[in-house]
Chains A and B, each alone.
Chain A
């Protein structure tokens, strides 16, 4: 503390602005009055001003080695830019098309779920009924074409191995009950095949409409994978024709159909220009 009104603490607070020359007139006068009386603060200002002056006058430093060689090596061998990618034509797709595609996919998924749920419920109900009575039941009237009882009990419907997801053969189905289930073509593999067929058809329609919005390489990959899946479906069907009761083959066919639906759904929802 000095005779001036300013304390050393107040001086310290004002010091940065004093050195910057940004104090107002009255504050500056107070600081200068304090400096005339306070040795500690005067010494501090003197030292800091000397540091400023010395810093501004610092001589340039010299590198320990000639750096040009390294610089020249880098600028002589510039990075070769990758071949410029051809500018992709900007395709503007109305937002409603994307929304419509998404809505269609959702609706087909919903239809699949509804139909497969009904099919599963019907099969389970019949399975329970048949399992308890041990009698051959007449097919339920669902409006689906019915086969003769003889044909139904001895020969599965063509493609009947395309079971529903989640109905891939319990131990009960592998036994006597399964024989009765095979006789229910309206809720069995035939109807599930129809569900898959309907959904695949709808999705394929969406994907074919979207082909122009997708990158040609993406379309090629999708088509290539669809061919592979179709080949797997065809092989599974052929194998099932020889061994209609095989749950393994049935499961394989179901998985292949699932894959096809999944791929088509993914393709239908791909953003444009991918």
Chain B
């Protein structure tokens, strides 16, 4: 199960720093940042498709984490809570971005590149998987990153992204086919 990969990555021993940071200890919070920064940055970069945007979003995520930390009840692992918060920050940022971004997302839906037998899109050239992911249409990219990279379930993705579980499955399959085409070239 892909979700199991999360468990392997979860750093242990956060609880003391979480408690201190929740009480306003910035040094403890910096330690939490150092522990989780790369993972959060990876999530933000892959979901946004841009390293620059990923850095901005990572900062937003940790500022938001600092604000929300007093509300963390420890019902789940801190890393799980943090990554869910990160996903929400990324998705909310997307929602508040300009019309151009939303138009791009809308245009994803009926993309002809969906066809298995069809040719790979011309703008996708030979590249490694990370680069290929960044070139995916936004909707397909988000679902692929959340499911295949981060290990979220379709039901969770549906709730986070405001789509149906079936829509999440369809976007995931579409993303995998597009990646295959891109990587074959």
Contact = CB atoms under 8 A, between A and B. Distances in A.
Interface of A: 12, 15-16, 19-20, 44, 47-48, 51-52, 54-58, 60-65, 67-68, 70-72, 74-76
Contacts of B78: none
Interface residues of B, number: 40
Contact of B26 (A15, A19, A67, A76): A76
Given A67-B59, A75-B66, 4 more contacts: A12-B116, A16-B173, A61-B130, A63-B51
B176 A51 contact: yes
Given A63-B41, A72-B26, A55 B144 contact: yes
B79 interface: no
Contacts of B172: 16
Interface of B: 2, 5, 26, 29-30, 33-34, 37-39, 41-42, 45-46, 51, 54-55, 58-59, 62-63, 66, 116, 129-130, 133, 144, 148-149, 151, 169-170, 172-173, 176-177, 179-180, 183-184
Main secondary structure of the interface of B (DSSP, over half): helix
Nearest to B133: A55
Contacts of B148: 51-52, 55-56
Given A44-B180, A58-B129, A67-B37, A19 B173 contact: yes
Nearest to B62: A71
Given A16-B169, A63-B37, A63-B41, A55 B149 contact: yes
B46 to A, nearest CB: 8
A70 B176 contact: no
Contacts of A58: 42, 46, 129-130, 149
A75 B5 contact: no
Contacts of A54: 129
A62 B38 contact: yes
Contacts of A62: 38, 41
B111 to A, nearest CB: 16
A50 to B, nearest CB: 9
Contacts of A57: 5
